[in-house]
Chain A
Amino acid sequence: MSAASNVVTADHNFPRHEQLVEEKLVLWYFVAALTFMIVSMLAGILMGLQLIRHNPLPSVELLSPGRWRMIHTNAIAYGFLANAFLGIMHWVIPRLTLRPVLSPLLSYAIFAAWQFVVLATAVGIIFGEAQGIEWGETPVWIDPVAQLGLLLVAINFGAPILQTRGPMYVTLWYYLAALVWTFLTYAMGNFVPEYFVCGSSAGAVGGLFIHDLVGLFVTPLGWGMLYYFVPILLKRPMWSHGLSLVGFWGLAFFYPLQGIHHFLYTPIPMFLQYGAVLSTIALELVVVTVIINFVGTLHGTGGLVLSNLPLRYFHTGILFYFLTCLQCALQVTLTFQALIHFTDWVVGHAHMVMFGVFAMWQLGVMTYLVPKILKTEWYSTQWCEWHYWASSGGLIVMAGDLILCGLFQGWSWAALQPWESSIRYSLPFWSVRIVAGVVMFAAQLLFCLNFYLTWLKAPKTVHTTLPESGGLATV
């Protein structure tokens, strides 16, 4: 098998793109991802309106803001981010390995299964069946299905990666590790604190889960994606292979060690808390090397960031990544934690990571890939610009606003003012947050409309090669 495939590449008889990439599936994943993005944002707006006491639909059990808050986070993590990553991996992995995924049939089965998992999670949460694990509120009876789905994902994408011979590109390091990590993280977070340990130990595992979900699922898939698309858009290799190595191995070593920093000053043993703080600060040094590598790659062609929209998305995300990590190195210290833990500072931080970095990167990839797959230009590049500015602008306002709000809440609590005071101080910030959120929401609606209209004007040849895509456009 391997000998035969070596001959194929030696003859420069590369398989064609059409043989490798199931483009229709990539589009389906994007449609699913954007659908859940809209759902998630609606849920966020509902919770935001509740906080400023303007919930238009109070006292409706199935629209309870407490439940929809969990939909907000789960739909973004498993509905938007996971779906978009899966779609992008269907593009990247076959092109890098020159091999299709293990089975197209399995790919479609995974697509259907994953949508079932996300929808079942949403329905379960709406009916009050949530599990008591942050970012893992998926009802307990769905967890085994999701776990099986992640195993199939690992097999389907792992097969082409494992079949490659010779050195692997950076992207594949991240992807390969992420396939292992995501499976392990999900298993650890959803089963260990639910069935095996309680109390402070469960808190330690819960902290690991919250953090690994970002660090070992979203982050490696995100960076893997960027190591692929940034050099392609810049038409040049990464600046330093050595720094790529430092970045990957530093992340792999330090990221899993930090979970407990989510629960500082809890009854979890203090020396473990110190360990988590130190490894977090160490990771920020690693992150700086990754940023240097990407900025170095950009050297001399910085102007492209202004003219090339996908590239601008990527580097905006990189900037936010730097900001969040810098913030992280400070806020993780016990000094900061005393003030800002439990406040909206953390909520601002979370939005900056999840939307400012990873969603921005994925929206950038969508902006780049959708015209390629549909073989036509965007319906309106002007709308794409609006999408970028409203998304990034809204995010800056929201994150800055919440971070500042957190400081006031923390000071109010430490000063032993009545609890109501902290609510009163928060109201102006929460009001600004709603405005920023609505702007971001409008941006995504515009993007969806643009996507739809682009699909409508796609050349008929696309429809003949991909017969079902025309039907999907009406979804």
Chain B
Amino acid sequence: MFERKSGIILIAGIGFFALAFLSNAVVPMLMYRHLPEKTVKQLINGNLRYQFEDLAQRFPEAFEKAYGQPPADPEQAGAWYDERCEKALRVGHKIYIGEGCWHCHSQFVRPVSNEDRRWGAVSQSWEYQNELQRPVLFGTRRVGPDLCREGGRRSSDWHAVHFFKPEALSFGSPMPNYPWLFDGSPDKPTERGLALITYIQWLGSWHETYPYYEDYVPIPIKTAAKTE
């Protein structure tokens, strides 16, 4: 058996592989079957909508160029923003993978090494049961900070400047510049730039503690615009 072709192909090749797949992959799948996978549409929440409409206020020209004009009717406008926001999340997620962001920024907080004090609540399974975590973006390296509680910590302006030239805001940062997400300057993000900022602002938006650094009162965006 140990030196025969049949033993090597059936037991070692297929059998042991199947055993490992059953015990290490099928078991967690069965354990989490009560947590259905959310679609991107289902992921849009009040916090994210706030940030997305905030982008429309901060970068009106860029936003209009990327997504057009919202309808005048408030109800239709709500649906319109949801639709654009869903699109932005998908595109932003694709850029996050395509640019290799996930190779330097992890997306999970461990219960050790004081991580919950630095980043916030320890990560839990339900947070990852969605379309944007297929494949999951846990990450394996942190050159830069963990990002799964990043949303709402910093303003979209900050992110725009940071993506354009990270060193301008984070002294000594080894993060590359991403000028191709902009039309020449940080106040003119392209559709890709807006999408990536939306994606970053989404990270952690499902948490009650969002955002961490500011006392967050969800004021309607129209009111905020009028007072400025």
| Chain A interface, >50% SS class | helix
Known pairs A67-B98, A181-B17, A265-B110; A173 contacts B141 (CB<8 A): no
| Minimum distance in angstroms from A192 CB to a CB of chain B | 7
Contact A268 B2 (CB under 8 A): no
* Choice from A133, A167, A198, A265 contacting B129 with Cβ under 8 Å: A198
**Residue of A with least CB distance to B97:** A132
* Choice from B99, B108, B128, B174 contacting A52 with Cβ under 8 Å: B174
**Residue of A with least CB distance to B167:** A53
> Chain A, 389-419, contact with B by CB distance < 8 Å: what is the 0/1 string?
0000000000000000000001001111001
Contact A58 B176 (CB under 8 A): yes
**Cβ of B222 < 8 Å from any Cβ of A?**
no
**Residue of B with least CB distance to A200:** B125
Contact A168 B5 (CB under 8 A): yes
* Choice from B5, B23, B97, B136 contacting A198 with Cβ under 8 Å: B136
**Cβ of B111 < 8 Å from any Cβ of A?**
yes
Contact A50 B174 (CB under 8 A): yes
Contact A268 B28 (CB under 8 A): yes
Question: How many residues of A sit at the interface, in one of the four size bands?
Answer: 35 or more
* Choice from A167, A173, A195, A204 contacting B28 with Cβ under 8 Å: A204
| Minimum distance in angstroms from B209 CB to a CB of chain A | 18
Enumerate chain B residues within 8 angstroms of A204, measured Cβ to Cβ.
Answer: 24-25, 28
Enumerate chain B residues within 8 angstroms of A420, measured Cβ to Cβ.
Answer: 170-173
Contact A194 B135 (CB under 8 A): yes
> Chain A, 172-201, contact with B by CB distance < 8 Å: what is the 0/1 string?
010011011100110010001111011111
> Chain A, 39-83, contact with B by CB distance < 8 Å: what is the 0/1 string?
000000000001111010011010011110110000000000000
| Minimum distance in angstroms from B115 CB to a CB of chain A | 8
* Choice from B4, B24, B94, B177 contacting A58 with Cβ under 8 Å: B177
**Residue of A with least CB distance to B2:** A245
Q: Which B residues from 93 to 147 make CB contacts under 8 A with A?
A: 94-95, 97-104, 106, 108, 110-115, 117-118, 123-125, 127-131, 133-145
Contact B25 A208 (CB under 8 A): yes
**Cβ of A87 < 8 Å from any Cβ of B?**
no
**Cβ of B32 < 8 Å from any Cβ of A?**
yes
Question: How many residues of B sit at the interface, in one of the four size bands?
Answer: 35 or more
**Cβ of B37 < 8 Å from any Cβ of A?**
yes
**Cβ of B179 < 8 Å from any Cβ of A?**
yes
**Cβ of B16 < 8 Å from any Cβ of A?**
yes
**Cβ of B215 < 8 Å from any Cβ of A?**
no
Contact B129 A199 (CB under 8 A): yes
* Choice from A51, A260, A424 contacting B143 with Cβ under 8 Å: A51
**Cβ of A276 < 8 Å from any Cβ of B?**
yes
Give Cα A441 to B176, complex, Å.
Answer: 23
Q: Which B residues from 160 to 186 make CB contacts under 8 A with A?
A: 167, 170-174, 176-180
Enumerate chain B residues within 8 angstroms of A416, measured Cβ to Cβ.
Answer: 114, 117-118
Q: Which A residues from 243 to 289 make CB contacts under 8 A with B?
A: 245, 248-249, 252-253, 256-257, 259-260, 262-263, 265-269, 272, 275-276
Among B25, B31, B99, residue most surrounded by chain A Cβ atoms (within 10 Å): B25
| Minimum distance in angstroms from B179 CB to a CB of chain A | 5
Contact A419 B145 (CB under 8 A): yes
Give Cα A342 to B180, complex, Å.
Answer: 28
Contact B179 A132 (CB under 8 A): no
Contact A263 B138 (CB under 8 A): yes
**Cβ of A148 < 8 Å from any Cβ of B?**
no
Contact A199 B37 (CB under 8 A): yes
Contact A180 B112 (CB under 8 A): no
Question: Apart from A208-B25, A266-B108, what are 11 other A-B pairs with CB-CB below 8 Å?
Answer: A50-B176, A58-B176, A66-B176, A128-B98, A161-B5, A168-B3, A179-B13, A180-B9, A192-B25, A256-B19, A413-B114
Interface CB pairs A-B, < 8 A, 22: A64-B99, A64-B100, A66-B99, A66-B103, A128-B99, A132-B102, A134-B103, A162-B5, A176-B8, A180-B17, A199-B127, A203-B136, A203-B138, A204-B28, A208-B24, A208-B25, A249-B12, A253-B12, A266-B110, A267-B124, A338-B110, A346-B141
